[in-house]
Amino acid sequence: MSATAEYINQLKQDGDFLTLSRNHEWHLEAGQFTLNNQTKVTVHDTGVIEFEPDCVTSKNVVLSSAIHGNETAPIEICDELIKHIISGQLELQQRVLFIFGNPQSINIGKRFVEENLNRLFNGHHTVDGIAMNDERVRADKLEQYVSDFYARSEQGTYRCHYDLHTAIRGSKNEKFAVYPFLHGKPWKKSQLQFLLSCGVNTVLMMKSPATTFSYYSSFVHGADSFTVELGQVKPFGENDMSRFAKTKQTLTALISQKEVKYPEFNASDFELFSVHRTINRTEQNFSFPFSDDAENFTGFAKGELLATDGDNAIYADVEGEAIIFPNAQVAIGQRALLTVVPMQVDSRFS
């Protein structure tokens, strides 16, 4: 029996695509099979599996996790959904592409192996004068799998991508989403309703392009796309999965129902923030004045110190400027901190 036939036999029995992917850190031969309910299953590569039900579909859904390997809760959610689909317990009404982004980084329990995958999308994987590495090659391939998935969709059908993460620090607002820069297009209230149904009531509006997976699928493929932070990073086995029940239910409904109705939009259900600025680390000597326990969304008074980058002291320049994703250990040149300020729903939302 060929190695592909062997892994497919195993996958049909146990549905354990996560373990299969972890056992093939950077590459797995493609393979295909059909479930008893006629759903077509295509393994494109390690960590990349597509399901296509045998019915007319209207949505093309990408669910990614493990873009950072130590962010285990989203991996567990997707692992369970995949197992339920393969066992036939969960019957699909929509096309779905699941991606475990960086299997080797899952195995070593780290955010990344050599380089942060989520800084390599939208073409940033391939740059003149910068040597390729496994993560750069992977980012390139993941873009291709997403492109092909959407290219094979029926014309006029809907595209979305939820890139699931957990944050390094605790957060005052436990679950929050990053809405990639839309280049002036309106933010969608219907997407906020979807996020609310997932248990996410806090959304940050980016105001510039990024190298992230969610920006890529939004900008290049016109997908409704978000980075979704579901809680704080924990090792496998330490996640309280009850905290993700709403997310799991909402994702399940999205892929297993012809149409999902969400409650009517009510601005008071949300806390919305606009990204005020991005602070990059430009010097070896970079530090924050606050402790590692300082939570995301902690606000600073105007004039308070936010960071020191070499000789440059950076102060809050508006009252209540709040910190998101502070990380002094990022590579020089990368984002060490985002700051946000509250915003209201207005005519820029449709």
Ligand X SMILES: O=C(O)CCC(=O)N[C@@H](CCC(=O)O)C(=O)O
- Footprint of Zn ion (CB under 5 A): 68, 71, 165
Which residue, 16 or 76, has its beta carbon nearer to Zn ion?
76
Smallest separation, CB 157 to Zn ion (Å) = 28
Out of 115, 229, 295, 321, which one is annotated catalytic?
A: 229
- DSSP type of residue 36: T
Partner interacting with residue 81 (select from ligand X, Zn ion, none; CB below 5-8 Å by kind) = none
Smallest separation, CB 55 to Zn ion (Å) = 34
Smallest separation, CB 89 to Zn ion (Å) = 29
What is the token pair recorded at 176?
């929050």
What is the token pair recorded at 120?
């390599």
Q: Which residues are annotated as a binding site for Zn(2+)?
A: 68, 71, 165
Smallest separation, CB 156 to Zn ion (Å) = 32
Partner interacting with residue 125 (select from ligand X, Zn ion, none; CB below 5-8 Å by kind) = none
Q: Is 237 exposed, middle or buried (0-12, 13-18, 19+ CB in 10 A)?
A: exposed
Q: Is 262:197 a contact under the CB 8 Å cutoff?
A: yes
Which residue, 59 or 111, has its beta carbon nearer to Zn ion?
111
Which residue, 59 or 165, has its beta carbon nearer to Zn ion?
165
Residues 6+ apart with CB under 8 A from 42: 30, 31, 32, 49, 50, 52
- Give the span between the Cα atoms of 200 and 216, in whole angstroms: 22
Active site residue 6: no
Binding site for ligand X (CB under 6 A): 68, 118, 165, 167-169, 178, 210, 212, 214, 227, 325, 327
Which residue, 294 or 345, has its beta carbon nearer to ligand X?
294
Q: Is 159 exposed, middle or buried (0-12, 13-18, 19+ CB in 10 A)?
A: buried
Partner interacting with residue 212 (select from Zn ion, ligand X, none; CB below 5-8 Å by kind) = ligand X
- From first CA to last CA, the distance across the chain in angstroms is 55
Residues assigned a catalytic role: 229
